[in-house]
Amino acid sequence: MVFEDIYELYWQRIFRLCMGYVNDAELAQDLAQETFIIVWQQLPKFRNESAIGTWIFRIASNNCLRQIEKEKKFSKTGLPAHLEEKKQESMEPQIQLLYQFISELPETDRIIISLELEEVKQAEIALITGLSEANIRVKIYRIKEKLTKKFKENGY
């Protein structure tokens, strides 16, 4: 598979995965781009020990986790009111809310539900996260319950 095909096939999915982590479209786009730079650089070394999608999702997940660690180290100072970040008006309110709720989950839950939303098989999610398939099934159920509860609390 050539890089261009991989990029076309996985760009949207990786972007949405990153959105689930950071809930910020510009940062998610940067993280997705960084992911594909790594994929481009490492593609010749890919050994087909797992599906290419599993490999790419693992790279993206690690990239997002590194970003979250960086943010923890450097606490953000508040921006002046006139420079406050603008919300994504192009996204539907429910989708914005979903990304917000996902970004509030613990890191492992974020990766699991983001991959589930991308219709990654639970066996692959288990490989990516290093958890058992049974544990993944239980976690997905509980995460969906948490998200449903948050939507109900917000009038949806």
pLDDT score recorded for residue 76: 47
Taking residues 88-100, report their average pLDDT.
76
Query: Which of residues 95 and 70 earns the better pLDDT score?
Result: 95
Question: pLDDT tens-digit profile of 112-151?
Answer: 999 999 889 999 999 888 899 999 999 999 999 999 999 9
Q: How far is CA 68 from the centre of its chain?
A: 11
Q: How many structural domains comprise the chain?
A: 1
| CATH number for the domain harbouring residue 100 | 1.20.140
Whether residue 88 is predicted with pLDDT greater than 50 in this model: the reply is: no
The pLDDT of residue 80: 44
Eight-state DSSP code of residue 80: P
What is the rounded CA–CA span in Å between residue 123 and residue 130?
10
- 43-77 residue pLDDT tens: 999 988 888 999 999 999 989 888 877 777 665 44
Residues with Cβ < 8 Å from 92, sequence gap 6 or more? none
Tokens linked to 20: 């689930």
Flag whether the pTM goes above 0.85: no
Q: Give the model confidence (pLDDT) of 3-26 as tens digits.
A: 999 999 999 999 999 998 888 899
Residue 86 predicted with pLDDT over 50: no
- Expressed as residue numbers, the domain containing 77 is 3-153
* pLDDT (0 to 100) of residue 23: 86
Query: Would you say 31 and 103 are in contact if contact means Cβ atoms under 8 Å apart?
Result: no
Residue 113 and residue 140 in contact, taking contact as beta carbons nearer than 8 Å:
yes
Pair 112, 124: CB distance under 8 Å: no
The residues, ordered by sequence, that sit 6+ positions from 132 with a Cβ below 8 Å of its Cβ are: 126
pLDDT at residue number 91: 65
Q: 45 CB contacts (<8 Å, ≥6 apart)?
A: none
